[in-house]
């Protein structure tokens, strides 16, 4: 991949290659777009096959963050970092401090966070070198994002229910949850409290047992969850779960879940729409964890953060409205919603306003 043509094509602002000889750090920080504010995005640590793959991943993930923050209504842009290395063997205090110094050098244009391969402990080390880090263990940090993500998914699911059945309550609706790990478990709890009927699956028997016992869910095998007769299918495990083979099997009217990158291809959004299934775009409905962690930038307040997460209801509703008014799949409608917000707020920000004293 040639980097500049890619930057030009998608409007990337900055790609920073970071190297530190003493610690062996090799990292890429990619800032896609700061129209709405500083670029927030996790720092992934991964054994990439080559550096081109690492750059491509950082760029792809940074751009996805721009859409996610914009659609979530946050005053933040999109960015992402990757550290090349094996998270099981290559971590050291020096490595993360070296990375933290690079984050600091960007003076707040990039704010880092946990991601695949990095932990709260790593963020604590990064914090020794920069203030531009979230998800640390320090007082006032937002902690595990999963309860917030689950709350947002539940709110978004209700927006879908309102659009499909004219009644947002999920009481007596059957919801099939694929994956009852961190997010799936909390989602099951909200749904059980509301009186929904739960069908659950997981490849881990202990996870299934817990929701069966605590919430009276019915367990099914992982390979049949897509065939279950239900009102809502909630993918909370894997990406790529909605594809040309699985979509024809679905018996639900709504797909709304936490998993990232649920569609195998963009065509799958159309396939779902053609089958009359309403799909809540993943990056809109699963933004609760992001909204929660972003609240740390204001001095974390859990009630305020969860109020904002609750607004995912309105974000999903807006996406559905755009899709139906413009005759497009909800995936495209979500992108348009994000792009329009960036355009509008970007225009506002071009006006010069003298700063207060």
b/e for 242-252, b at 16 or more Cβ within 10 A? beeebbeebeb
For ligand NAD, the binding residues in 26-65 under the rule CB under 6 A are none
In whole angstroms, the minimum distance from the beta carbon of 55 to ligand NAD comes to 22
Question: How deeply is 317 buried, as exposed, middle or buried, from its count of CB atoms within 10 A (0-12, 13-18, 19+)?
Answer: middle
Say whether residue 145 binds ligand NAD (CB under 6 A).
yes
Residue 25 or 305: which CB sits closer to ligand NAD? 305
Here's the x/- map for ligand NAD, 261-300, by CB under 6 A: it reads as: -------------------------x--x-----------
Say whether residue 149 binds ligand NAD (CB under 6 A).
yes
Say whether residue 240 binds ligand NAD (CB under 6 A).
no
Dist. CA 204–CA 176, nearest whole Å: 16
Which one of the listed residues 68, 80, 91, 158 is annotated catalytic?
80
Report the candidate in 263, 218, 273, 216 with the shortest Cα–Cα distance to residue 241.
263
Question: How deeply is 59 buried, as exposed, middle or buried, from its count of CB atoms within 10 A (0-12, 13-18, 19+)?
Answer: buried
Span of 1-9, 51-59, 181-189, 268-276 interacting with ligand NAD by CB under 6 A: 181-189
Say whether residue 222 binds ligand NAD (CB under 6 A).
yes
What residue is closest to ligand NAD based on CB?
181
Contacts of 281 (CB under 8 A, 6+ apart): 71, 319, 330, 331, 333, 334
Is 80 part of the annotated catalytic residue set?
A: yes
Contacts of 305 (CB under 8 A, 6+ apart): 142, 148, 291, 292, 295
Say whether residue 179 binds ligand NAD (CB under 6 A).
yes
Instruction: Report the SS3 class of residue 81.
Output: strand
Say whether residue 103 binds ligand NAD (CB under 6 A).
no
Cβ–Cβ < 8 Å for 6, 12:
yes
In whole angstroms, the minimum distance from the beta carbon of 264 to ligand NAD comes to 14
Instruction: Report the SS3 class of residue 17.
Output: strand
**Tokens (6 digits) for 203:** 């490849």
Span of 131-139, 189-197, 211-219, 258-266 interacting with ligand NAD by CB under 6 A: 258-266
Span of 2-10, 63-71, 120-128, 176-184 interacting with ligand NAD by CB under 6 A: 176-184
Cβ–Cβ < 8 Å for 184, 153:
no
In whole angstroms, the minimum distance from the beta carbon of 148 to ligand NAD comes to 7
Say whether residue 146 binds ligand NAD (CB under 6 A).
yes
Here's the x/- map for ligand NAD, 200-219, by CB under 6 A: it reads as: -xxxx--x------------
The DSSP 8-state label assigned to residue 163 in this structure reads H
In whole angstroms, the minimum distance from the beta carbon of 292 to ligand NAD comes to 8
Please pick, from the candidates 183, 188, 228, 334, the single residue that binds ligand NAD as defined by CB under 6 A. 183
In whole angstroms, the minimum distance from the beta carbon of 342 to ligand NAD comes to 21
Q: List, edge to edge, every strand of the sheet that includes 232-235.
A: 218-219, 197-201, 174-178, 232-235, 254-255, 278-279
- Rounded to 5 degrees, what are φ and ψ at 198? -110, 135
Span of 4-12, 130-138, 169-177, 197-205 interacting with ligand NAD by CB under 6 A: 197-205
Other Cβ atoms closer than 10 A to 280? 27
- Strand duo 174-178 + 197-201: pairing: parallel
Residue 39 or 145: which CB sits closer to ligand NAD? 145
**Which residues of the shown chain bind ligand NAD in the complex (CB under 6 A)?**
145-146, 149, 178-179, 181-184, 201-204, 207, 222, 236-238, 258-260, 286, 289
* Enzyme catalytic residues: 80
């Amino acid at each position: 991949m040639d980097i500049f043509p890619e930057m030009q094509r998608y409007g990337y602002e900055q790609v920073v290659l970071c190297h530190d000889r003493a610690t062996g750090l090799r990292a890429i920080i990619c800032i896609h777009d700061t129209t709405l504010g500083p670029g927030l995005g996790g720092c992934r640590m991964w054994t990439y096959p080559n550096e081109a793959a690492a750059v491509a991943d950082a760029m792809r993930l940074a751009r996805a963050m721009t859409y996610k923050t914009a659609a979530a209504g946050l005053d933040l842009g999109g960015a992402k970092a990757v550290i090349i290395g094996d998270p099981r063997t290559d971590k050291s205090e020096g490595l993360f401090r070296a990375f933290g110094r690079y984050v600091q050098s960007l003076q707040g244009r990039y704010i880092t966070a946990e991601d695949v391969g990095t932990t709260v402990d790593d963020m604590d080390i990064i914090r020794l070198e920069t203030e531009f880090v979230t998800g640390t263990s320090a007082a006032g940090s937002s902690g595990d994002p999963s309860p917030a993500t689950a709350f947002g998914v539940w709110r978004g699911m209700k927006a879908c229910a309102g659009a499909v059945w004219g009644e947002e309550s999920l009481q007596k609706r059957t919801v099939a949850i694929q994956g009852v790990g961190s997010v799936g478990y909390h989602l099951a709890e909200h749904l059980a409290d509301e009186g929904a009927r739960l069908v659950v699956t997981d490849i881990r028997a202990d996870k299934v047992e817990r929701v069966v016992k605590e919430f009276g869910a019915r367990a099914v095998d992982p390979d049949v969850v897509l065939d279950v007769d239900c009102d809502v299918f909630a993918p909370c495990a894997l990406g790529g779960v909605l594809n040309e083979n699985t979509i024809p099997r679905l018996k639900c009217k709504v797909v709304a879940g936490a998993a990232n990158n649920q569609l195998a291809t963009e065509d799958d959004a159309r396939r779902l729409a053609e089958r009359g299934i309403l799909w809540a775009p993943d990056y809109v409905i699963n933004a609760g964890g992001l909204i929660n962690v972003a609240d740390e930038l204001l001095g974390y307040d859990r009630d305020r953060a969860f109020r904002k997460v609750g607004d995912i209801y309105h974000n999903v509703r807006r996406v559905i409205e755009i899709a139906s008014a413009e005759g497009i799949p909800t995936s495209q409608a979500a992108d348009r919603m994000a792009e329009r917000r960036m355009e509008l707020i970007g225009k506002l920000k071009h006006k010069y306003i003298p700063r207060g004293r």
